[in-house]
Structure formats: structure tokens, C-alpha cells
Amino acid sequence: MRFVFRRPPILFALALIGAAPPPSTAISTLSPDSETRWVSFDLTPGNQIRFTMAVNGMPATAILDTGVSASVISRDFASVHRLHVQPRGHASAIGGNVAIGWAATQSIALGGLTRRGGGMIVTTLPAAATGTARAVDILIGHDLIDAYALEIDFEAKRFRLIKSGRLPFRGLSAPLSIAANQNVYVTEALLGGRRLAPMVVDTGDGSSITLSQESFRAARITGLPTTTTIAYGLAGALITDLAIVPSLAVGKLTASDVEIRVERRGGFSHEIGAAGRIGSGFLQQYRVLLDPIAGHIVFGPSSQTGKPPVRSTSGILVATEAARLRVLHVMRGSPAEVSGWRAGDLICAIDGTPVPADYSNSPISSWSVGSPGRVVLLSGCDGRERALTLGRFY
């Protein structure tokens, strides 16, 4: 199943509760040539940083995720490679709770970083959480990388780990630390003149900015057109409100027209004591340096800096299933809602063109964010045709 529409966000945040993993006896080293050891990545359909690394000498597909409180191995990977998994209780994930275990590892290799000994949390990593047909094997969290500076070059699709204190480019800075309670990267933001803290810096979250309901209300931003959207976490799907705010500041950086998702009451951010999250949808507008030891995050300019967010003009969020689209969510107040579209509806052709196997990478997929006023003819898999007039609704 592939999710389509601006790479709909996938949310991998995970907070450990219950039994903790055993104390680590791991020894990590950074190679002298670490600055040349760039790690190439691609962005998943869920907008996550995906790359290849090695665990116990075996290749593994990983997601760079500063929003998990400890690095994670999938149960499938542990089973295939015969890692002994010890039950360790449960963890709080976006969408609910998940069962976790712990497994010892012999070695981990990632760019210029090598770790000997130690272990990792084990849980189920569903394929739906990346928007692809194949699940990833690893989530790389702060516990493996926070002793170093992490530079992410989104334009070149590469990242590297370097010594803390290095400043390989100039930019605007914001404070950065590892939260003692959440064990994740945190900073602070300013919205409507209100300080929002802590804000989790979450590279595993494909969205832009997510706020708890309490934080958004405290900012007292009024008169914003809002709608709804869907996202997927380790524990399942969740619906959030969605709006575009005129400006938001993170340290010395002020960004305009920022997409904000607002969790429902008692959401994940509230549960872990955070004001919200800054996801990869926001970070990828910049060249980013995360250095918690030095105490800062640095935002450098890129060709994506200042570009306005892409808005849906249809209100239909879909996933591909073979040669058809399944409607996952109909956004509140959208042309699709007015036209009577519902989650679960199936689409087999767009303007007379059958849905191709590579739909998400084809030009035809841009119809859902087309120009307001355009009329799109959607053919249901039952043979019924329905015209949809696109429009701006948030």
C-alpha cells in the first residue's frame, strides 16, 4: 500500500514505559574520516529518511528517527537473524501502546560510527508505517547518535555524523538538548507570541509542525480556516486538525505559512509532556545540523527554503492498491466532503486514464492538488463516474 498526497506523514515517535532495557555496555567510536563518510538516503512516501546500515555485519534498512527514546529493531529482523528477544513491557506510540522487547547486538555500523556490544529495543514495525509494501528493519534514535553532531543535507539526500562543535555551514540557530524525561531531541518554538516548549525535533515524523491541543489553544491563533487530515503511527491511524499559520519561529529562524497539525485532546504530545513536534516536513526546507552537546540546532538555507506548503484542493487522501486508489480520509470542509466522498471509496481512473501501477511517481497523481476551479472526472471501480471541482478550503 502506498500513500499519496504530499507524502502523507508517518509518525514513528515512541516513548518507553514499563520495564526499561538493561544498562548499556556498548562502546561507540567515530572514525577519523567521519566527515567524509556521508550516508545516502531517500525519502519514503511517508516523508522519512531511509538508508542502509549494518547490524551484526548484516545489511538493514533503517529510518533516522530522533523522535524515539531508544533505537528499535523490528521483530521480523530479530526473528530472521535469530536475535534473542527478552520481553520488556510496553511503550507509548502515536496511536496507542505497543509491546516491546530487548535484544543484544554485537556490532552496529552507520557512516563513520561503529558500536560494539549493547542492544536495542524490539517491536513490530509495520509496512504501513512507511507507506511502502516493505517494512524497515531499524529506527535509529538519539541513543546511538547524540554524542555527535548530525548534519542532514536534504537537497543532496545525504547525512553524516561528525564531532560535536563543528559548524560546517552558516545558518540560524535554535537551542537543542536531550530531554531528561522523554529522552529525545527537544527545542522550543514561538507561535502567536507564546513560547511552546518542549518541542520534540522528530526526524521520524513526516509532517511539518504538530502541536498538542493545549499548546495550540494557548497560542490564541484565531480566524484560521481548518480542516482534518490522517497520519499513521506505530500503533495505527489517527486524525488531526490541520491549518496554515502565517508565521512560526524556532530560535532565530522565522518561517512563514507553516502547516500545523493539532492533535486531539490527550494526544501523544500531551502524553509525553511535550508541546508538540517539529517533523521532517519542516526540517527538509533547510540544511540542518543537530548538535545537542553543543546545545544548538542550525538551519542553513536551501532551494526549498521559503516555499509555501502544498495544499490539497480535492480533500481526498488515498492509498494505492494495485491498479486502484482507496480513499483513506476525506478532509473536513473540502470539495470531496461536499460531493459525498467517503473513506473506503475506490477510484480506478482519473479523467479517463486508468490508475497506473506507479501512480505515486506519475504526473497523473498531481490532480488532488490541482488549480482551484479545475473539474476532475473520477471513475469508481464500480463503473460510476463522478465529477469533482477542486477548490481552496483551508
35-46 per-position pLDDT tens digit: 999 999 999 877
| 278-318: pLDDT as tens digits | 999 999 999 999 999 999 999 999 999 999 999 999 999 99
| 331-387: pLDDT as tens digits | 999 999 999 999 999 999 999 999 998 898 889 999 999 999 999 999 999 999 999
pLDDT over threshold 90, residue 64: yes
Helices within the chain (DSSP H only): 75-80, 142-145, 213-219, 268-271, 280-283, 335-338
CA distances (Å), origin 315, targets 238, 352, 376: 16, 20, 13
| 301-311: pLDDT as tens digits | 999 999 999 99
Q: 2-161 and 172-300 share one CATH topology?
A: yes
Whose grid coordinates read 502547516?
259
CA torsion angle 20 23 27 29 (round to 10): 40
- Annotation: CATH topology of 2-161: Cathepsin D, subunit A; domain 1 (2.40.70)
Is the CB of residue 277 less than 8 Å from the CB of residue 179? no
The pLDDT, as a whole number, for residue 288 is 98
Is the CB of residue 11 less than 8 Å from the CB of residue 100? no
Cα separation, 160 vs 290, in Å, equals 11
Q: Residue 113: which H helix or E strand, with range?
A: strand 113-116
Q: Which of 126, 118, 114, 116 is nearest to 102 (CA)?
A: 118
Report, as an integer, the average pLDDT of 179-190.
91
Cα separation, 3 vs 53, in Å, equals 25
In the chain, % of residues over pLDDT 70? 90
pTM of the complete model beyond 0.85: yes
Q: What is the CATH number of domain 172-300?
A: 2.40.70.10
Helices within 146-279 (DSSP H only): 213-219, 268-271
Q: Which of 151, 80, 94, 111 is nearest to 302 (CA)?
A: 151
State the pLDDT confidence band at 161, using cuts at 50, 70 and 90.
very high
Domain ranges for the chain: 2-161, 172-300, 316-389
State the pLDDT confidence band at 180, using cuts at 50, 70 and 90.
confident
State the pLDDT confidence band at 6, using cuts at 50, 70 and 90.
very low
Q: Nine-digit cell at 274? A: 511535550
The pLDDT, as a whole number, for residue 127 is 77
Q: How far is CA 98 from the centre of its chain?
A: 18
The pLDDT, as a whole number, for residue 44 is 86
Q: Which of 354, 355, 317 is nearest to 336 (CA)?
A: 317
| 144-156: pLDDT as tens digits | 999 999 999 999 9
State the pLDDT confidence band at 90, using cuts at 50, 70 and 90.
confident
Positive or negative, the Cα torsion across 256, 219, 294, 291? negative
Q: Nine-digit cell at 33? A: 574520516
Report, as an integer, the average pLDDT of 133-161.
94
- Compute how many other C-beta atoms are within 10 angstroms of the C-beta atom of residue 153: 19
SS (H, E, C) 11-80: ECCEEECCCCCCCCCCEEEECCCHHHCCEECEECCCCCEEEEEEECCEEEEEEECCCECCCEEEHHHHHH
The pLDDT, as a whole number, for residue 25 is 80
Residue range 316-389 in CATH 2.60.120.10: no
Cα separation, 25 vs 59, in Å, equals 23
**Between these two residues, 6 and 101, which has the higher pLDDT value?**
101
| 192-242: pLDDT as tens digits | 999 999 999 999 998 999 999 999 999 999 999 999 999 876 667 789 999
